[in-house]
Amino acid sequence: MPRGRTSRSVNPRGGRPPRPGSATQSRRPRGNAPVQAGGLGGDQVEGRQAVRELLLSRGRAIDAVYVAADRDPVAIITEIMDLAEDRGVLHTVSSYEIESMARSDVPQGVIARAEPLRVFDLDELTKPVDGRPPFLVVFDGITDPHNMGAVLRSAVSAGATGAVLARHRSVHVTPVVAKAAAGAIEYLPFALVAGIPAALAELKNAGVWTVGLDAEGDRLVDELPVATEPIALVFGAEGRGLSSLTRNRCDLLARIDLVGPLESLNVSAAAAVSCFAVARQRSQSPGQ
C-alpha cells in the first residue's frame, strides 16, 4: 500500500464490517440479487472499472469504497484509492472481507456503496440531449444481469441517452449488472415503467420512433430510415425475444443481417450491433 495512507476497516455506519454469517450481514445470493422494492438499485458497485467510473463521474453520493489491501497495487487500484481518499471514503480491508460483502462472482478487490440511482420520469428521457435527438434503449423482460450490463455498456459507448426498464419481471441494476456495465450506469438516465407496451405508446406520443429488434424484421438495422430521428431500440428477453404485445406496439421491426449458419445472436451482441448501427447512421447525418 502506498506510503502515507491509513488502513481503515470500517463500514459507512461506523465499526468493523460485520463478519459473513453474522446477524447483521447474511450472505446474499450472487447474480440477480434483489433490489429495494420499487427501486432501481445501483447502491452497491463492484469491480475496478465500475467503481472507478463511479468516483470519476461524481454524479452520486458515495458512502464508502472498500479496497482489499492485500491485492497487487496495479495502476487502476492506485487510482481508485487516490480518488476515494480525496473524497474521504476510502476503507482498506482484507480480501476475505471483500468476498464476504460481494454480490458478484469477481469483485476484483473493490466494492463501493453509494446512494441508489435516480429514477427518471419517462417523459424526461424524450427530450433532446445537448441538441441531439434522444436515443433510448428499452428492455422487454431481460432477466440475465450479465446481458443487461453488457447492453448498457454498448449503449453508452454508442451514444445512447437513456434506458427504459419494466418495474417488474426484469432485472434492475444489481451489483452484477453494474460490474458488467463497467461504469455505464453512471452516465445513462433510467426510467422504470409499469409496462413496456404502455411505455412504447407514450414514447410514440412524444414523437419517439420505437424499433423492435426481431429476427423477422422487415428492415435491416443498418438501414433504418428513422435512425437520425428520436429513436428507441427495443430488445426482447433471452430466448423468447419480444413479447407479442411489445412487437405489435413497435413502429418498426428491424433485423440484423446474419451471413453464417446460426439463426440468432445473444441479446447483448445484438444490442451492440444495433446500437452502433444507429450511431454510424447518426454520425453520417449533417447536424448530428
Q: Where residue 145 sits, what CATH number does that domain have?
A: 3.40.1280.10
User: What pTM was estimated for this model as a whole?
Assistant: 0.85
pLDDT at 287: 62
Q: Which of 114, 131, 157 is a domain's end point?
A: 114
How do beta strands 110-114 and 44-46 pair?
antiparallel
Q: Which residues are CB-contacts of 167 (< 8 A; sequence separation ≥ 6)?
A: 38, 192, 193, 194
Note the Cα 258 to chain centre separation in Å.
27
Residue 29 pLDDT > 60, yes or no? no
Residue 4: pLDDT over 70: no
Is 263 in the same domain as 135? yes
Question: What are the counts of helices (DSSP H) followed by strands (DSSP E) for the chain?
Answer: 8, 12
Asked if 124 and 67 sit in the same domain, the reply is no
153 & 96 share domain: no
Does residue 183 share a domain with residue 140?
yes
Task: Indicate whether 154 belongs to any domain.
Answer: yes
Same domain, 79 and 107: yes
Q: Quick one: cell of 253?
A: 421491426
Question: Of 63, 96, 114, at which residue does a domain stop?
Answer: 114
For 175, list phi and psi in degrees, rounded to 5.
-60, -35
Measured between alpha carbons, how far is 205 from 41 in angstroms, rounded to an integer? 29
The verdict on residue 16 lying in a domain is: no
Phi and psi based region of residue 136 (left: phi greater than 0; alpha: psi -120 to 50; beta: remaining):
beta
Indicate whether 107 and 147 sit together in one domain: no
| 106 and 137 within one domain | no
Query: Is 139 in the same domain as 231?
Result: yes
Bridge partner list, 231: 135, 209
pLDDT for residue 288: 60
- Give the pLDDT confidence of 71-94 residue by residue, as tens digits: 777 999 999 999 999 999 999 999
Boundary (domain end) residue, out of 63, 85, 114:
114
The answer to whether residue 11 scores a pLDDT higher than 80 is: no
Across the range 215-237, mean pLDDT stands at: 94
Q: Which domain holds residue 220?
A: 119-283
